[in-house]
Structure 1
Amino acid sequence: MSTFVLVPGLWLGAWAWEAVAEPLRAAGHTVHAVSLTGLAERSGEAGPEVGVETHITDLTDLLVRADLRDVVLVAHSGGAVAVTGAADRVPERIRRVVYLDSGPIADGLALRDLWEPGFRAPLEASVVDGYRLPLPSFEEFLAAGTSLDGLDGAALARFRERATDQPFRTVTDPLRLTGGGAGTAKALVSCSFPLEQVRAMIASGHPYFAALGGPEWELRELTTGHWPMFSRPADTAAVLAKLAELPGR
C-alpha cells in the first residue's frame, strides 16, 4: 500500500479531495489531504507574508513531522508550485510526484507568469487588501480556456461556497529550486487537454512541456475538466493508485 499526500489547487483546501481520498483509503492506502496556510479551515492564517515558501514549508514540515517516506506527492493545478518546491527540498522522502492537470514550475518562475495576460490582468485587479485573491467567476475561467467539463450547477455552487481567497504572494513569488528533485519519478495526468497534444508539444520543444519528455516521466490521460477530483473522483483515485504501483527512481 502507498502513502499519498494530496495538494489542492488555488482557492481549495483538503475538502476538495474527500471523494478521492475515500476510495484510496478503502483500498488500504494512507492519505494525507492538505490545506495550505491561509486556505479552507486555515483561512485565519492568511496574511501578506504568506507566499510560495510558506506553502513549501507546509509540505516539508508535514513530511518530516509525520516521518512520511516513499510518498506519492500529488499536485492539482496551482498546487504544482508548492509540490515542485517540496520535491526539490526533500526528494529522499518522495517516490513519485504526480501532476494532475498541472505541471512542474521552472526555477525562477511565478505561477502568474504562466497565465495569459487577458486572464492575469483582471485577477490582479481583483486582489483585496493587497494580499487576498478571490476566486474568479466561472465565466472568466471559461474565457481563459479552463474546462469546467463534468461540473453541474450543484458542483459549481459547492465549489464557490467552499472556496477561500488565495494568498496573493503564492502566485507572484518566483519558485527557487536547487535541482534536488530533478531525478525524482514524475507523472502527468492530463485531464482537460488531450495527451496527443501534450506529446506534440513535448516533441516541438514547447517551453512549458519540453521537460515532460525525460525518462523520469509517465504520461496518463483522464478525460474530463480541470477539476477531476469533482468531476471524476473515483477514476482520479484509480489512476493515482495505478501510478503508485510503478517503481520510483
Structure 2
Amino acid sequence: MAEFVLVPGAWLGSWAWADVVPHLRAAGHGTHPMTLTGLADKRGLPAGRQTHVQDIVDEVERHDLRDVVLVGHSYSGIPIGQAAERIGDRLLHVVFVDSNVPADGESFASAWWEGPAAFEASIAGNGGFWAPLTAPDYAGQGLTDDQIARIVSGSTPHPGTTLTEPAVLHRPLGELPATYIKCLLDGPEPSDAVAKLLTSERWRLVEMDTGHWPMFSEPRELARILHQSAVQS
C-alpha cells in the first residue's frame, strides 16, 4: 500500500491529522503526519519557504519511503508541489486539500486577495508572523464548537518568510499525478490557477461537501478519498 506524508496548513502541526490517520492505517497504508519547521512543537526554529520543502523531502528520504502520496492542506499545497518533483520515482501521487498551488517565482503572498503588499504589511506588523485565526473566523465551515476550540487552541503563529519567498519549480505542475480536493463550503469553484491545472489529463477534481478543514469536519470521508487517490494511481 501507499505511504502517506500528511502536511498540515498554516498554523497547524502534525496533530491536525489525528482523526485521519487511524482510517488510513486501517486500510493498510503507512502514515507520516508532519509538523513543519517553526510551527507547533517546532515553534521557534527559523524557517523559510525552502525550509518547508526540505522538511518534506527529508521526511521521505529519512524513512526511505516508496509509493509516496504527498498530501498538503491549504498553504502546504505550495511546499508539497515543490517537494513532489524532488523525490523522483518515490512519488505515487499528490493530493492538494483545498489548497494553494505553487507557481514558479511566486509566493503564497502573491495570490493574497488584498494584494501581496497588504499581506506582507500584516506579517511585519505581527513580528514577522502570520497570526492564527480566531474562533469566529471558522464559522460556516462545517465545524462543531469543540472542533473549532481544538483548532484555535492548537494553532501557533506561522513564520512569515515561508509565505513570501518564491516557489521554485523545474517542470510544469500539471505533469504531476494529482488530485485536487475542493471543499465546497469554502467556495464552489477552484481558483483560476487550479482550474487550469485540472485541464491536465494527470489531474482530477474531487469535491467534498464540507468546509476548509476536512481533517476535522469529515476525517473519515477525507481518508476514503486519500485511499482512493492511492489505489487509482
State the TM-score, normalized to the length of structure 1.
Answer: 0.85
Give the equivalent residue in structure 2 for 1:95.
Answer: 92
Residue correspondence of structure 1 range 69-218 to structure 2 within 5 A: 69-117=66-114, 121=118, 124-125=121-122, 127=124, 130-139=127-136, 141=137, 148-179=140-171, 183-192=175-184, 197-198=189-190, 206-218=192-204
Cα distance between partner residues in 1 of 2:24 and 2:150: 23
Query: Which of 223, 238, 246 is matched with 2:224 structurally?
Result: 238
Aligned-residue offset at 1:70:
1.2
Cα distance between partner residues in 2 of 1:81 and 1:66: 22
* Matching of residue 229 in structure 1 with residue 210 in structure 2: no
Query: Which of 207, 210, 219 is matched with 2:205 structurally?
Result: 219
Deviation by residue 1:217-237 (Cα, 9 ceiling, x = unmatched): 121111100000010011111
Is 85-94 or 66-75 further displaced after alignment? Answer: 85-94
Aligned with 1:32: secondary structure?
A: strand
5+ residue gaps in structure 2? none
Aligned-residue offset at 1:62:
1.1
The one-letter code matched in structure 2 to 1:104 is V
Aligned-residue offset at 1:114:
1.4
Cα distance between partner residues in 1 of 2:201 and 2:187: 17
Q: Is the 8 A contact 2:129 2:158 kept in 1?
A: yes
Cα distance between partner residues in 2 of 1:26 and 1:118: 43
Cα distance between partner residues in 2 of 1:71 and 1:120: 36
The one-letter code matched in structure 2 to 1:242 is Q
State the TM-score, normalized to the length of structure 2.
Answer: 0.90
* Matched residue count: 233
Cα distance between partner residues in 1 of 2:48 and 2:26: 35
Cα distance between partner residues in 2 of 1:70 and 1:173: 29
Aligned with 2:226: secondary structure?
A: helix
5+ residue gaps in structure 1? none
Dislocated runs of 4+, deviation >6 Å: none
Percent identity, aligned pairs only?
A: 36
